[in-house]
């Protein structure tokens, strides 16, 4: 976790010309497309059809599928797919299966009637989330195995660019299509766009992990151990966890606590964002233009700033800054809740929120990447990213109940307050890391 030596600003920006960094844009798009379609965009569809906010809040638990992906990450990390693995390689074979699953799930959901088939919508959303989470496991491993640590900040920023581009399509694009045609047509189009990810997977080359001697030995031992069921379980499931605590000791518990609360404030308020805008009286086109299109560019700008800051200052200082910005900017939504609908004020709040969110996300991905061991890339990163979202997704399920009971103003104050533990833990980890280097 040691911070890297500072580089000149010009040389730091040149990192975005690396082919490996550019390639992450396309994988980021494939990962980002299904996320809103079972989260924020789905909540807008449900609210637009008159579904109660408390029920919409419970749909936030669909996102917990992403949060428990570490349960099957060892299988994705170690188990080959008959026929496909020999053809595409270990990472690309799983990637293709996951992407096809997302596309089929979206295609089926597009045929459902929300008013009469709400249970079917929920089941379909869980299936899509499962396939999308599997895709995330593979892409995270692919990214980490494709470049050294010093490039991970820029790799993360490019990934965020592609991811946010997909969010723009799945957010603003879906809202525009729903406004002009219907929600069903919007989801049919989104299903077709998963073809971009499928084509990208077919044209990618399998990454060559940058392994150390110790990691190579560990990988060789895992390969031999996989011949027996019990040994495979130890190598694929137990070893990634024991490896983490072997490297970090008791300090690892503090690191895991930070991972668990870092995005708590941001994710908790996300499920109620679109219902909030609709309840304020904004149209779907206005929401698309301000919160999705304009917000996209602010997020992109924040992500690239985050990537450059990691190259320039290392990971820990920007990590603390990101935690502070997330909590502070979420307070701005409480102002929107007590004022008359104003597109200009909405644009200001959204721009600040997305700028801080983009910066914090790029930095946090780089931080999580620095925690992994190449010998257990997929499993360890899946654990970190799952731990990052699980508490927030659970709490977000009650967001509709909180809004119905106390109103949007107090809900956003509550969401902002959830950012305080992240700020304190990020500061503690920062100083602990500094002490370890002395």
Question: Going from the N-terminus, what domains does the chain have, and what CATH number goes with each?
Answer: 16-437 (1.20.1250.20)
Would you state the pLDDT for residue 114?
87
Biggest CA-to-CA distance, the chain: 66
Phi and psi, residue 52, nearest 5°: -60, 145
The predicted-structure confidence for 197-212, as pLDDT tens digits, reads as follows 898 888 877 776 544 4
19 alpha-carbon distance from chain centroid: 23
Tell me the pLDDT band of 11, cut-offs 50, 70 and 90: low
Cα separation, 244 vs 236, whole angstroms = 13
**Interatomic CA distance for residues 137 and 276, integer angstroms:** 32
Whole-model pTM: value is 0.68
Q: Which of 80, 94, 81 has the alpha carbon at shortest distance from 30?
A: 94
Classified as helix, coil or strand, 262 is coil
Place 33 in a pLDDT band, splitting at 50, 70 and 90: very high
pLDDT at 97: 94
pLDDT at residue number 170: 92
At residue 127, the pLDDT reads 95
- The C-alpha atoms of residue 74 and residue 236 are separated, in whole angstroms, by 5
Report how far residue 327's alpha carbon sits from residue 186's, in angstroms, rounded to the nearest whole number: 33
Q: How many residues does the chain have?
A: 438
Q: What is the rounded CA–CA span in Å between residue 133 and residue 95?
A: 11
Rounded Cα distance, 190 and 110, in Å = 9
pLDDT in tens, 328-348: 888 889 888 888 888 888 888
Tens digit of each residue's pLDDT (9 = 90 or more) over 352-402: 888 988 898 888 888 887 777 766 666 677 677 777 777 877 888 888 888
For 220-264, what is each residue's pLDDT tens digit? 554 454 455 455 555 555 666 777 777 777 787 888 888 888 888
Q: What is the pLDDT of residue 220?
A: 52
DSSP character at residue 209: -
Q: What is the per-residue pLDDT for 12? A: 54
Distances (CA, A) of 262 to 238, 357, 390: 25, 11, 11
Q: What is the pLDDT of residues 401-412, one digit of tens each?
A: 888 888 889 999
Say whether pLDDT at 34 is over 90. yes
Q: For every residue of 52-109, which 3-state class applies, written as one string?
A: CHHHHHHHHHHHHHHHCHHHCHHHHHHCCCCCHHHHHCHHHHHHHHHHHHHHHHHHHH
Which tops the pLDDT comparison, 417 or 388? 417
Q: 3-state class of 160 per DSSP?
A: helix
Q: What is the DSSP secondary structure assignment for residue 211, as one 8-state letter?
A: -
The predicted pLDDT at position 87 comes to: 84
């Amino acid at each position: 976790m040691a911070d890297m030596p500072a580089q000149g600003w010009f040389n730091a920006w040149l990192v975005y010309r690396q082919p490996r960094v550019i390639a992450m844009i396309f994988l980021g798009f494939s990962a980002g497309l299904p996320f809103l379609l079972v989260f924020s965009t789905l909540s807008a569809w449900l609210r637009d059809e008159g579904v109660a906010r408390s029920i919409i809040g419970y749909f936030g638990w669909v996102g917990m599928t992403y949060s428990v992906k570490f349960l099957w990450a060892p299988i994705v990390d170690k188990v080959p797919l008959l026929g496909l693995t020999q053809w595409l390689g270990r990472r690309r074979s799983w990637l293709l299966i996951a992407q096809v699953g997302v596309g089929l799930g979206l295609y089926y959901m597009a045929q459902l009637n929300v008013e009469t088939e709400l249970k079917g919508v929920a089941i379909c959303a869980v299936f899509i989330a499962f396939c999308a989470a599997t895709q995330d496991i593979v892409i995270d491993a692919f990214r980490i195995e494709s470049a050294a640590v010093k490039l991970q900040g820029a790799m993360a920023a490019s990934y965020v660019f592609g991811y946010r581009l997909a969010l723009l399509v799945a957010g603003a694009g879906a809202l525009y299509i729903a406004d002009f045609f219907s929600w069903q047509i919007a989801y049919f189009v989104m299903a077709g766009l998963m073809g971009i990810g499928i084509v990208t997977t077919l044209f990618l080359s399998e990454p060559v992990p940058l392994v150390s001697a110790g990691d190579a030995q560990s990988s060789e031992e895992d390969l031999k151990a996989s011949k027996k069921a019990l040994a495979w379980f130890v190598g694929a499931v137990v070893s990634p966890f024991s490896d983490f605590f072997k490297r970090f000791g008791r300090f690892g518990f503090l690191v895991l606590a930070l991972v668990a609360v870092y995005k708590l404030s941001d994710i908790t308020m996300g499920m109620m964002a679109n219902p909030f805008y609709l309840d304020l009286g904004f149209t779907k086109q206005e929401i698309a233009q301000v919160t999705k299109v304009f917000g996209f560019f602010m997020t992109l700008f924040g992500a690239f700033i985050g990537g450059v800051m990691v190259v320039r200052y290392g990971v820990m200082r920007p990590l603390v800054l990101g935690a502070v910005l997330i909590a502070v900017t979420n307070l701005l939504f409480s102002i929107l809740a007590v004022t008359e609908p104003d597109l200009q004020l909405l644009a200001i709040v959204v721009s600040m929120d997305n700028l801080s969110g983009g910066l914090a996300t790029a930095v946090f991905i780089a931080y999580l990447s620095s925690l992994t061991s190449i010998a257990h890339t997929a499993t360890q990163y899946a654990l970190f990213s799952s731990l990052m979202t699980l508490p927030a997704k659970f709490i977000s399920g009650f967001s509709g109940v909180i809004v119905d009971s106390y109103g949007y103003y107090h809900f956003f104050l509550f969401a902002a307050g959830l950012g305080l533990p992240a700020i304190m833990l990020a500061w503690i980890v920062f100083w602990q890391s500094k002490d370890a280097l002395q």
